C-alpha cells in the first residue's frame, strides 16, 4: 500500500475525465469527495451503534449505499424532513457540495472492477411523474436511472419486501419504497480477490470463540505476507489491513485483544473515529505477518424504519408529517383520497462471502487457480524464525469493514461474533 499514493490523483483524474465526454471539471472536486466520505463514515458509526443494540449476532450493511439513498431523498425534501435527513446523515455541507461528492464517488466506483456492477434505479408507477429538477439532479449527480413500470402495486411491493427479508437477492440491495408510487433501488455485487491470496491447502479446521466464549468449529484460512498492523491501547484492540486486488480497496479488521472484548470495544468506538483507525494503518510500517481468519459468509437483512427513527427521522415515514414535495411533479393535496408522498419501507439486504480467493457478494467459489502461482515456503521452525513473523489471529468476535483508502469511504461494515 505504501507505493500506491500516486494513484490517488490518477484515479480521480480518470473519474473526472470518464463522464460527460471528459467535461467534468465543474462536477466534482477533492473537497466535495472528502466531505461526502466524512459524512458517510460518521453516519456509519451512528448506524452501527444503533444496530448493535438491536442485533445480538452478526450483521452487515453498506453505509455508502444508505447515505447515497438518503442524499437522493434530501433533494426532494423540504422543511423538517430535509432538516432531519441533513442531521441524521451528518451532511455538513450545502447541496452543491453533496452533489459533487456523490457524483465523484459513484463515477469512481463505476471505474473500479470490484464495484462496477452498481446500479441506481428509480422505479415509478405508470401514473407518477417526477419533478423535472429532482429528476435532473438524480440523473446527473447520483447516476440514477428513472423507469416507469406497470407492476408497482401494493401486492408486488409486499412480495419484494418479503424476498428482501428472506435474503432472496444476491449481493447488495437497498430499497426505499414511497407508497406504491416510487421505489429507489440501489443494487451492487461486490467481487474482489485478495492481493495476497490464501492457499486453499493450508486452510484448517480450527476454533472460533463466539461471543460468550463458546467454542465453535471453523475453517481457518492463513496467509503469510507483508501487511500493516496498528495497536490501539486505549481501545484494548489492534487492527490489520488486508489489501484487495484493486488498487484502492482493503479489508480492515479491528480485533479486541481479549477473547470476550467485543462489547467493551464497541462501547469505546462511540468516542472514536473509524477514520483514525484507517489513517493509522495507512501510516504503519509493513510487517511480515502470519494472518489467520475464518472462512465465512455473512447475510443480513435490515428493516431500517426503527433505526432511522431512533437516529432522528421523525417525519419521513408519516404521510401527515413528511415533506417530500420536491419529488412529484404535482404537489396539490386537494384531490380526494390523496396521500402525501412518504417512505413506507426502507430495507437493506447485503451478502458477502470471505474465502481463500477474496471477498464476493455472489457466492463465487474459490477458483482452482488460486494456488497455482504460490511458491512453497520453508515451514520449518528455522524458516519461520528467519522471516520473523508477527501473528495476527482473528479467532474471536471482531469488527470488519471494506474500505476505499483513496477517498476514505467505507463501502461495507460488519460485525462477526458467531
**pLDDT, tens digit (0-9, with 9 covering 90-100), for 96-124:** 888 888 998 888 888 888 988 889 999 99
Q: pTM for the complete prediction?
A: 0.87
For range 194-211, the mean pLDDT: 94
Is the model's pLDDT at 384 over the cut of 60?
A: no
Which residue carries 485478495 as its cell?
194
Domain ranges, ordered by start, for the chain = 24-111+118-188+299-331+339-351, 192-293+378-416
Is the model's pLDDT at 333 over the cut of 90?
A: no
pLDDT at 164: 80
For range 371-391, the mean pLDDT: 53
pLDDT at 296: 95
Span 24-111+118-188+299-331+339-351: which CATH code? 3.30.497.10
From the options 2.30.39.10, 3.30.460.10, 3.40.50.720, 2.130.10.10, give the CATH code of 192-293+378-416.
Answer: 2.30.39.10
Nearest CA among 193, 300, 287 for reference residue 249: 193
pLDDT at 213: 86
Percent of the chain with pLDDT over 90: 55
Confidence of residue 165 (pLDDT cuts 50, 70, 90): confident
pLDDT at 193: 94
Q: Cα–Cα distance between 215 and 220 in angstroms, integer?
A: 14
Confidence of residue 330 (pLDDT cuts 50, 70, 90): low
For range 377-403, the mean pLDDT: 76
pLDDT at 60: 95
Lowest-pLDDT choice from 73-87, 185-199, 273-287, 358-372 = 358-372
For range 235-240, the mean pLDDT: 96
**Residues belonging to the chain:** 418
Is the model's pLDDT at 203 over the cut of 80?
A: yes
Is the model's pLDDT at 64 over the cut of 50?
A: yes
Strands 118-125 and 144-149: parallel
Amino acid at each position: 500500500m505504501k507505493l500506491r499514493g500516486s494513484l490517488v490523483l490518477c484515479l480521480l483524474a480518470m473519474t473526472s475525465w470518464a463522464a460527460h465526454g471528459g467535461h467534468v471539471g465543474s462536477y466534482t472536486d477533492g473537497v466535495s469527495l472528502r466531505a461526502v466520505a466524512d459524512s458517510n463514515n460518521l453516519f456509519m458509526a451512528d448506524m452501527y451503534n444503533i444496530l448493535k443494540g438491536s442485533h445480538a449476532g452478526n450483521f452487515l450493511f453498506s453505509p455508502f449505499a444508505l447515505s447515497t439513498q438518503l442524499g437522493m431523498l434530501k433533494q426532494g425534501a423540504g422543511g423538517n424532513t430535509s432538516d432531519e435527513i441533513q442531521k441524521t446523515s451528518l451532511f455538513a455541507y450545502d447541496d452543491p457540495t453533496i452533489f459533487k461528492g456523490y457524483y465523484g464517488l459513484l463515477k469512481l466506483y463505476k471505474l473500479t472492477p470490484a464495484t462496477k456492477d452498481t446500479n441506481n434505479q428509480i422505479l415509478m408507477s405508470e401514473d407518477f411523474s417526477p419533478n423535472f429538477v429532482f429528476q435532473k439532479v438524480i440523473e446527473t449527480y447520483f447516476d440514477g436511472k428513472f423507469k416507469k413500470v406497470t407492476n408497482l402495486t401494493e401486492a408486488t411491493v409486499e412480495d419484494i419486501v418479503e424476498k428482501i427479508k428472506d435474503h432472496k437477492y444476491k449481493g447488495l440491495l437497498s430499497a426505499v419504497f414511497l407508497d406504491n408510487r416510487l421505489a429507489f433501488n440501489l443494487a451492487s455485487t461486490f467481487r474482489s480477490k485478495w492481493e495476497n491470496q490464501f492457499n486453499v491447502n493450508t486452510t484448517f479446521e480450527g476454533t472460533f470463540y463466539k461471543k460468550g466464549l463458546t467454542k465453535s468449529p471453523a475453517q481457518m484460512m492463513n496467509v503469510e505476507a507483508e501487511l500493516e498492523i496498528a495497536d490501539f491501547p486505549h481501545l484494548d484492540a489492534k487492527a490489520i489491513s488486508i489489501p484487495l486486488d484493486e488498487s484502492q480497496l482493503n479489508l480492515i479488521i479491528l480485533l479486541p485483544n481479549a477473547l470476550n472484548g467485543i462489547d467493551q470495544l464497541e462501547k469505546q468506538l462511540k468516542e472514536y473515529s473509524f477514520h483514525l483507525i484507517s489513517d493509522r494503518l495507512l501510516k504503519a510500517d509493513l510487517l511480515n505477518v502470519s494472518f489467520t481468519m475464518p472462512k465465512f459468509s455473512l447475510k443480513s437483512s435490515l428493516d431500517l424504519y426503527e433505526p432511522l427513527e431512533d437516529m432522528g427521522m421523525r417525519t419521513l415515514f408519516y404521510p401527515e408529517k413528511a415533506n417530500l414535495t420536491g419529488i412529484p411533479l404535482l404537489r396539490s393535496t386537494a384531490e380526494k383520497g390523496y396521500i402525501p408522498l412518504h417512505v413506507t419501507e426502507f430495507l437493506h439486504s447485503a451478502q458477502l462471502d470471505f474465502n481463500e480467493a477474496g471477498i464476493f457478494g455472489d457466492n463465487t467459489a474459490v477458483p482452482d487457480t488460486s494456488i497455482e502461482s504460490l511458491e512453497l515456503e520453508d515451514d520449518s521452525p528455522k524458516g519461520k524464525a528467519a522471516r520473523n513473523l508477527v501473528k495476527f489471529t482473528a479467532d474471536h468476535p471482531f469488527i470488519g469493514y471494506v474500505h476505499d483508502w483513496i477517498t476514505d469511504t467505507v463501502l461495507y461494515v460488519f460485525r462477526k461474533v458467531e
